[in-house]
């Protein structure tokens, strides 16, 4: 029983990270039709920025941790806004070129990170409480899992609030459904594009800082490895659906943990199998738009 | 809006002038060298068989599809502008198939459409009391007729120079068709309308001028009633028997292919 | 609705590419323009003349490449030594294999419009498959290759039929996921078979002697050249076959093709499997050339590299793929040397850091090409040529951007 609980919470913690990356990907794709290959780079930049802050201010207390979260999110947001404004915007409507540009950007960015911080993983220390464990139903859960879960839930609530209660949120919801009709109502969707990219970048940056604590290290490859799972989550959840991404993120991560434990380390493989099954029986994903 | 005296004295500028409009969708030429004008008052009908390019012409005017040519709105050239700018300069667009946002409520659909500083909410509430009652309902759960009303309301919320209305009676029950026609007639009192319609009875009821397309080109322009009364023209350009044009049955949309 | 889609796409593919290089072939392939090289068709006198000239040039080029190991040609700055040295031959052989791999990617992307991020899976399957089979089974080379090929055909079929349930961007994501699974399996080193991070050395016991050892780099070079020529011919053949035309038509307008009664899914699957099989063969040659399997062979980085090559060279053009493959490989090698040079090491940090990372330069170059020169190298060359021949009606299309070529299914 305690193993089950441990696996569950580890899965939820990982799922929280997947969600933070997938949420941005899903919205960007849903609204803009762009597959943002550079999304992992936003995450990595957030993680490294957070690490730099922690390094300079002494990383073992809550204050600096929260600061690193904020700065990491800001770094991700800035990188994303820059990407959209300088690279994506001038390729308006040319979706394949937009994808290609994000591919080039991810190559260049990871190489740049290699150059600045080196290719070896850098170990990170958080507040001491992170390394402690809390006991739930007989399982000892490392506390950093809770931080990830809480952060992801807060982000989800914030995003839902934004989408439901603000004008730009309304524009984005409408645009995900029918972008051309939004322009035919006289709305400049390009502002929404930048906004969605920035939000996605902020979530990814935040996810990066959390990931560095969850895994215990930062490296230029961090974003790339998480990105692939975020892609899987986005497809399974349904492109363009925030709730789909949330559900799929939890499902995928928990499945992965259980498969790793009970089926001898085949977690990654099982996840891909799940993707295959979803594609065979429901190609638009769990909650994706059918068009 | 000119008085009778003014319109006799000088030819009032047409609110919309289209010249040598060419448009393509996915490399396929759908509009070929289309030229016509829409007068500054009343309803002008854009007619033609299915697939002839009427919707594409409308979309080309507001730039939703790739086009070349000249488009002039109230004397100002707009063909190089982005769609949203064209709409903001005073175009109300009521698309074929309504295209309401199904995951937004009725109220949100309308709020999204508000452009002006002082949208004409009261007017819309008066014209569409049913929508007012359904404010919080998800637009995706509305009936076809109700969705059409949302689509029309969206266009009427703002002060526009012209309304582009694409097949508003498509797929609607006869009673609703009548309501839509009434709403359009009411709207036409204050803003000129370019109306794409297959239902010739509605055209007869509402339209003053007619522009007829065939094979992506303009093949006839002139007063609507004149065209509708000419059985030969109707047969040739619309492929419809004269009975349909003359029938008093508003549900008869003609045997348009 | 009256234009014939097939002809127009054929014009696009056939006339944009120069025809196959090997004029020494005995069998003339049949393509849409009718018997090539025969009496000029009415109304098109210049084309066959041009094509003959192109074939002649291509054959001459191949001949030169064949003779290269026996010559003493130096290209300082490009080749590490004169052309007969093993180092140079190794580099050239790698260029040719990469060019061939880029050609297989061109078949996927340029012809069928399939943006796959998982192509490396089949390359890696060729590399690792052959390595593992040779390592664990005592069978000679050719049967081992045949077995590997068989496995990859099945693999491509299974993965392709699942992945092609979706198209466009979702398809890209799914292919990436499958390739990642393969990469992970290799990395985990199940039962020590794949060597994990270290990779797997090639077991040479059952290989013919001519292919083993530095002294035989020449033979491996010729093998790579043979692979390149063969792949080029096969890709040309597929492109101009009925399946190729159908795939191009599907790429342009899937709905139209379905209306015509064709099955887009099957056509796409066919192209998918064919390009997977071809890149598997290239992978096997790669194994022989490198004498070992490395995890990079199955990584998504490799697929991205192929994508970059094809776009740099010019999407939709076979020669673009070849040029892109060669250009990228040489550039990568040169940039790596530059990065380790004293000149760069002594630069201030803000310059040194970017310049010491070849991928940074390549990635930035790629971005610039996509934004400003979307037709790639061949597209830009064509545009310049057209500008010079202003007034003369060119049979080639305007340089195509990747976006022109691919209907976004999203």
Q: What local confidence, expressed as pLDDT, does residue A1 receive? A: 77
What does the mean pLDDT of chain C come to? 79
C160 min Cα distance to partner chain B (Å): 27
SS3 C342: helix
Residue of C nearest to B30 (CA): C1
Q: Is C236 within 8 Å of C391 (Cβ atoms)?
A: no
Confidence of residue C405 (pLDDT cuts 50, 70, 90): low
Helix (H) or strand (E) holding A217: strand A217-218
Confidence of residue B247 (pLDDT cuts 50, 70, 90): very low
Q: What local confidence, expressed as pLDDT, does residue C410 receive? A: 35
Q: Best residue in A184, A188, A190 to probe B by mutation, most B CBs within 10 Å?
A: A184
Does residue A85 carry a pLDDT above 70?
A: yes
Q: What local confidence, expressed as pLDDT, does residue A165 receive? A: 92
What whole-number distance in Å separates Cα of residue C49 and Cα of residue C36?
A: 10
Q: Is C318 within 8 Å of C152 (Cβ atoms)?
A: no
Confidence of residue C255 (pLDDT cuts 50, 70, 90): low
SS3 C201: strand
Q: Is B140 within 8 Å of B105 (Cβ atoms)?
A: no
C110 min Cα distance to partner chain B (Å): 17
Q: What local confidence, expressed as pLDDT, does residue B2 receive? A: 52
Q: What local confidence, expressed as pLDDT, does residue C228 receive? A: 93
User: Taking the C-alpha atoms of B226, B228, B232 and B234 in order, what is their torsion angle to the nearest 10 degrees?
Assistant: 140
Q: What local confidence, expressed as pLDDT, does residue B84 receive? A: 93
| Chain B residues close to C407, C-beta within 8 Å | 26
Choice among A256-260, C42-46, C337-341 with the minimum mean pLDDT: C42-46
Does residue A53 carry a pLDDT above 90?
A: no
**C215-219 — which CB contacts under 8 Å span 24+ positions?**
C215/C86, C217/C86, C217/C89, C217/C90, C217/C93, C218/C69, C218/C84, C218/C86, C218/C89
What is the DSSP-derived secondary structure letter of residue C401?
P
State percent of chain A over pLDDT 90: 49
What whole-number distance in Å separates Cα of residue B60 and Cα of residue A121?
A: 55
Question: Is ipTM beyond 0.85?
Answer: yes
What whole-number distance in Å separates Cα of residue B84 and Cα of residue B64?
A: 10
Does residue B108 carry a pLDDT above 90?
A: yes
Q: What is the mean pLDDT of residues A148-163?
A: 94
Does residue B148 carry a pLDDT above 70?
A: yes
Residue of C nearest to A232 (CA): C177
| Chain B contact partners (≥3 CB pairs within 8 A) | A, C
Q: What is the mean pLDDT of residues B245-257?
A: 43
CB burial class (10 A; 0-12, 13-18, 19+) of residue A164? exposed
What whole-number distance in Å separates Cα of residue B43 and Cα of residue C105?
A: 55
Q: What local confidence, expressed as pLDDT, does residue C391 receive? A: 54
What whole-number distance in Å separates Cα of residue C303 and Cα of residue C400?
A: 22
Q: What is the mean pLDDT of residues B84-95?
A: 94
Q: Is A35 within 8 Å of A41 (Cβ atoms)?
A: no
Confidence of residue B121 (pLDDT cuts 50, 70, 90): confident
Q: What local confidence, expressed as pLDDT, does residue C287 receive? A: 92
SS3 C293: strand
Closest CB to B83: pick one of A177, A178, A183.
A183
More confident residue, A126 or C56: C56
SS3 C207: coil
What whole-number distance in Å separates Cα of residue B212 and Cα of residue B194?
A: 12
Residue of C nearest to B27 (CA): C252
Q: What is the mean pLDDT of residues B158-171?
A: 92
Q: What local confidence, expressed as pLDDT, does residue B3 receive? A: 56
B5 close contact with C: CB closer than 8 A: no
Q: What local confidence, expressed as pLDDT, does residue A194 receive? A: 93
Domain containing residue B177: CATH number: 3.40.50.300
Q: What is the mean pLDDT of residues C270-281?
A: 95
Q: What local confidence, expressed as pLDDT, does residue A19 receive? A: 96
Q: What local confidence, expressed as pLDDT, does residue C191 receive? A: 77
Closest CB to A104: pick one of C367, C402, C406.
C367
Question: Cβ separation of B99 and A178 shorter than 8 Å?
Answer: yes
Confidence of residue B57 (pLDDT cuts 50, 70, 90): very high
| Chain A residues close to B103, C-beta within 8 Å | 173, 177
- Closest Cα to residue B76, out of B17, B5, B31, B8? B17
- Residue C208, number of CB atoms within 10 A of its CB: 12
C376 min Cα distance to partner chain B (Å): 22
A181 min Cα distance to partner chain B (Å): 7
Q: Return the residue matching tokens 């060729």.
A: C126
Structure tokens, A284? 């638009």
Q: What is the mean pLDDT of residues B124-137?
A: 88
- Give me the domain span that covers residue B69: 14-96+163-246
Structure tokens, A269? 């493989």
C368 min Cα distance to partner chain A (Å): 9
What does the mean pLDDT of chain A come to? 88
| Chain A residues close to C338, C-beta within 8 Å | none
Flag whether B53 is in a domain: yes
Q: Best residue in A41, A96, A179, A270 to probe C by mutation, most C CBs within 10 Å?
A: A96
Does residue A290 carry a pLDDT above 80?
A: no
Q: Best residue in C312, C359, C374, C407 to probe A by mutation, most A CBs within 10 Å?
A: C359
C316 min Cα distance to partner chain A (Å): 14
Question: Cβ separation of A265 and C364 shorter than 8 Å?
Answer: no
A34 min Cα distance to partner chain C (Å): 8
Confidence of residue A59 (pLDDT cuts 50, 70, 90): low
- Residue C302, number of CB atoms within 10 A of its CB: 23
Residue of B nearest to A187 (CA): B84
Does residue A265 carry a pLDDT above 50?
A: yes
Q: What local confidence, expressed as pLDDT, does residue A193 receive? A: 92
Choice among C146-150, C225-229, C261-265 with the minimum mean pLDDT: C261-265
Helix (H) or strand (E) holding A135: strand A133-136
| Cα–Cα distances in angstroms (integers) from residue B41 to residues B7, B60, B166, B210, C173, in the given order | 11, 22, 18, 13, 53
State percent of chain A over pLDDT 70: 98
Q: What is the mean pLDDT of residues C80-102?
A: 87
How many domains, chain B? Answer: 1
H-assigned helices in C291-375: 300-313, 318-339, 342-345, 349-355, 358-372
| Chain C residues close to B28, C-beta within 8 Å | 1
| Chain A residues close to B102, C-beta within 8 Å | 177
Question: Cβ separation of A181 and B83 shorter than 8 Å?
Answer: no
Q: Which residues of B, range 13-72, sit inside 8 Å of C by Cβ? A: 26-28
| Chain B residues close to A174, C-beta within 8 Å | 101, 104, 112
**B22-26 — which CB contacts under 8 Å span 24+ positions?**
B22/B67, B22/B68, B22/B69, B23/B53, B23/B56, B23/B57, B23/B59, B23/B60, B23/B65, B23/B66, B23/B67, B23/B68, B24/B65, B24/B66, B24/B67, B25/B56, B25/B65, B25/B66, B26/C252, B26/C253, B26/C407
Q: Edge-to-edge strand order for the sheet containing B28-38?
A: B28-38, B16-25, B66-73, B76-77
| Chain B residues close to C253, C-beta within 8 Å | 26-27
Q: Return the residue matching tokens 């730039």.
A: B63
Chain A residues contacting C via beta carbons under 8 Å: 29, 33, 35, 87, 90-91, 94-97, 99-101, 103-112, 114-116, 228, 231-232, 234-235, 239, 265, 268-269, 272, 275-276, 279-280, 283
Structure tokens, B184? 């359009």
What whole-number distance in Å separates Cα of residue C6 and Cα of residue C32?
A: 9
Q: What is the mean pLDDT of residues A12-40?
A: 92
B215 close contact with C: CB closer than 8 A: no
Q: What is the mean pLDDT of residues C203-229?
A: 83
B151 min Cα distance to partner chain A (Å): 11
Q: What is the mean pLDDT of residues C160-177?
A: 86
Confidence of residue C6 (pLDDT cuts 50, 70, 90): very low
Q: What local confidence, expressed as pLDDT, does residue A18 receive? A: 95
Does residue A138 carry a pLDDT above 50?
A: yes
- Closest Cα to residue C326, out of C100, C122, C57? C100
C32 close contact with A: CB closer than 8 A: no
Residue of C nearest to B29 (CA): C1
What whole-number distance in Å separates Cα of residue C236 and Cα of residue C318?
A: 8
Q: What is the mean pLDDT of residues C370-375?
A: 88
| Chain A residues close to B112, C-beta within 8 Å | 170-171, 174, 182, 185, 187
Q: Return the residue matching tokens 């079929």.
A: C157
| Chain C contact partners (≥3 CB pairs within 8 A) | A, B
Residue of B nearest to C8 (CA): B27
Choice among A187-191, A261-265, C154-158, C387-391 with the minimum mean pLDDT: C387-391
What whole-number distance in Å separates Cα of residue C290 and Cα of residue B55?
A: 60
Structure tokens, A136? 């739930």
Q: What angle do CA A150, A156, A161 make, to 5 degrees?
A: 125
Question: Cβ separation of B112 and A188 shorter than 8 Å?
Answer: no
Question: Cβ separation of C364 and A108 shorter than 8 Å?
Answer: yes
Please name the residues in contact with B7: beta carbons below 8 A apart, sequence gap of 6 or more.
none
| Chain C residues close to B26, C-beta within 8 Å | 252-253, 407
Q: Is C281 within 8 Å of C129 (Cβ atoms)?
A: no
More confident residue, C86 or A209: A209
Helix (H) or strand (E) holding C156: helix C141-163
Confidence of residue C403 (pLDDT cuts 50, 70, 90): low
Chain C residues contacting B via beta carbons under 8 Å: 1, 252-253, 407
How many residue pairs bridge chain B and chain C with CB atoms within 8 Å of each other? 6
Q: What is the mean pLDDT of residues C155-168?
A: 90
Does residue B248 carry a pLDDT above 50?
A: no
Q: What is the mean pLDDT of residues A217-242?
A: 88
| Chain B residues close to C397, C-beta within 8 Å | none
Q: Is beta strand A122-123 parallel, antiparallel or unpaired with respect to B43-47?
A: unpaired
Residue-range domain boundaries for chain A: 2-222
3-state secondary structure chain B: CCCHHHHHHCCCCCCEEEEEEEEEECCEEEEEEEEEEECCCCEEEEECCCCCCHHHHHHHHHCCCEEEEEEEECCEECCCCCHHHHHHCCEEEECCCCCCCCCCEHHHHHHHHCCCCCCCHHHHHHHCHHHHHCCCCEHHHCCHHHHHHHHHHHHHCCCCCEEEEECCCCCCCHHHHHHHHHHHHHHHCCCCEEEECCCHHHHHHHCCEEEEEECCEEEEEEEHHHHHHCHHHHHHHHCCCHHHHHCCCCCCCCCCC
Does residue C311 carry a pLDDT above 60?
A: yes
């Amino acid at each position: 029983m305690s193993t089950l609980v441990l696996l569950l919470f580890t899965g939820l913690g990982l799922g929280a990270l997947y969600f933070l990356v997938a949420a941005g990907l899903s919205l960007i794709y849903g609204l803009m039709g762009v597959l943002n290959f550079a999304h992992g780079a936003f995450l990595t930049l957030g993680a490294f920025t957070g690490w730099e802050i922690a390094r300079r201010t002494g990383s073992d207390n809550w204050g600096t941790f929260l600061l690193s979260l904020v700065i990491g999110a800001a770094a991700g947001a800035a990188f994303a806004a820059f990407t959209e404004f300088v690279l994506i915007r001038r390729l308006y409507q040319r979706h394949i070129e937009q994808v290609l540009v994000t591919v080039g950007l991810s190559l260049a960015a990871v190489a740049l990170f290699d150059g600045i911080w080196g290719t070896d993983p850098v170990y990170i220390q958080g507040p001491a409480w992170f390394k402690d464990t809390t006991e739930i139903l007989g399982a000892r859960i490392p506390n950093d899992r809770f931080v990830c879960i809480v952060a992801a839930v807060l982000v989800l609530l914030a995003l839902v609030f934004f989408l439901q209660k603000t004008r730009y949120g309304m524009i984005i919801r409408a645009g995900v459904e029918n972008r051309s009709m939004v322009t035919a109502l006289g709305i400049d969707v390009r502002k929404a594009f930048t906004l969605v990219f920035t939000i996605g970048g902020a979530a990814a940056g935040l996810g990066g800082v959390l990931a560095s604590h969850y895994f215990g290290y930062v490296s230029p490859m961090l974003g790339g490895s998480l990105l692939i799972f975020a892609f899987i989550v986005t497809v399974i959840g349904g492109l363009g659906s925030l709730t789909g991404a949330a559900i799929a993120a939890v499902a995928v991560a928990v499945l992965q943990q259980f498969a790793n434990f009970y089926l001898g380390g085949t977690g990654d493989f099982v996840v891909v199998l799940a993707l295959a099954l979803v594609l065979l029986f429901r190609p638009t994903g769990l909650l994706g738009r059918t068009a | 809006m000119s008085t009778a005296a003014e319109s006799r004295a000088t030819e009032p500028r047409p609110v919309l002038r289209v010249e040598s409009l060419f448009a393509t969708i996915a490399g396929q030429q759908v509009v070929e060298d289309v030229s016509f004008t829409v007068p500054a008052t009343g309803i002008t009908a854009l007619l033609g068989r299915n697939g002839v390019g009427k919707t594409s012409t409308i979309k080309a005017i507001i730039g939703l599809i790739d086009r070349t040519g000249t488009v002039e709105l109230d004397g100002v050239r707009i063909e190089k502008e982005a769609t949203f700018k064209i709409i903001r300069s005073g175009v109300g667009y009521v698309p074929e198939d309504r295209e309401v946002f199904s995951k937004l409520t009725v109220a949100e659909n309308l709020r999204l459409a508000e452009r002006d500083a002082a949208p004409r909410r009261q007017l819309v509430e008066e014209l569409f009391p049913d929508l007012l009652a359904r404010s919080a309902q998800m637009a995706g759960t509305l009936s076809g007729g109700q969705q059409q009303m949302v689509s029309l309301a969206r266009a009427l919320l703002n002060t526009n120079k012209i309304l582009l209305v694409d097949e508003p009676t498509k797929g609607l029950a006869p009673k609703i068709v009548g309501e839509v026609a009434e709403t359009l007639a009411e709207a036409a009192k204050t803003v000129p309308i370019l109306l794409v319609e297959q239902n010739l009875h509605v055209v007869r009821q509402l339209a003053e001028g007619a522009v007829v397309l065939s094979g992506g080109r303009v093949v006839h322009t002139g007063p609507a009633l004149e065209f509708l009364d000419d059985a030969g023209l109707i047969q040739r350009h619309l492929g419809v028997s004269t009975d349909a044009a003359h029938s008093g049955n508003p549900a008869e949309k003609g045997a348009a292919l | 609705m009256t234009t014939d889609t097939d002809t127009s796409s054929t014009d696009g593919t056939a006339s944009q590419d120069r025809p196959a290089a090997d004029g020494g072939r005995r069998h003339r392939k049949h393509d849409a323009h009718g018997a090539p090289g025969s009496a000029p068709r009415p109304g098109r006198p210049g084309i066959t003349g041009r094509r003959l000239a192109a074939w002649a040039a291509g054959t001459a080029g191949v001949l030169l490449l064949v003779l290269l190991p026996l010559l003493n040609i130096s290209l300082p700055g490009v080749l590490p030594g004169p052309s007969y040295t093993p180092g140079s031959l190794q580099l050239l052989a790698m260029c040719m294999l990469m060019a061939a791999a880029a050609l297989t990617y061109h078949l996927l992307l340029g012809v069928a419009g399939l943006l796959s991020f998982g192509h490396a899976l089949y390359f890696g399957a060729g590399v690792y498959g052959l390595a593992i089979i040779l390592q664990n089974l005592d069978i000679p080379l050719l049967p081992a290759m045949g077995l590997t090929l068989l496995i990859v055909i099945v693999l491509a079929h299974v993965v392709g039929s699942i992945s092609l349930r979706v198209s466009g961007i979702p398809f890209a994501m799914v292919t990436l996921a499958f390739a990642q699974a393969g990469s992970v399996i290799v990395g985990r080193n199940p039962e020590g078979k794949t060597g994990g991070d270290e990779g797997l050395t090639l077991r040479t016991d059952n290989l013919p002697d001519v292919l083993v050892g530095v002294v035989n780099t020449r033979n491996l070079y010729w093998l790579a050249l043979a692979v390149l020529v063969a792949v080029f011919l096969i890709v040309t053949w597929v492109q101009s076959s009925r399946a190729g035309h159908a795939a191009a038509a599907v790429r342009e307008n899937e709905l139209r093709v379905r209306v015509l009664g064709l099955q887009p899914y099957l056509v796409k699957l066919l192209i998918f499997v064919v390009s997977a099989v071809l890149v598997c063969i290239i992978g096997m040659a790669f194994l022989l050339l490198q004498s070992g399997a490395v995890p990079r062979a199955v990584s998504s980085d490799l697929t991205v590299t192929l994508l970059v090559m094809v776009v740099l060279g010019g999407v939709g053009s076979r020669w673009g793929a070849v040029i892109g493959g060669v250009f990228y490989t040489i550039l990568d090698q040169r940039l790596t040397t530059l990065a380790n040079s004293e000149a760069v090491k002594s630069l201030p940090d803000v310059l040194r850091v970017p310049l010491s990372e070849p991928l940074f330069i390549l990635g930035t170059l790629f971005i610039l090409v996509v934004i400003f020169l979307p037709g790639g190298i061949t597209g830009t060359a064509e545009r310049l040529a057209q500008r010079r021949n202003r007034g003369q009606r060119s049979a080639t299309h305007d340089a195509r951007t990747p976006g022109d070529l691919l209907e976004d299914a999203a």
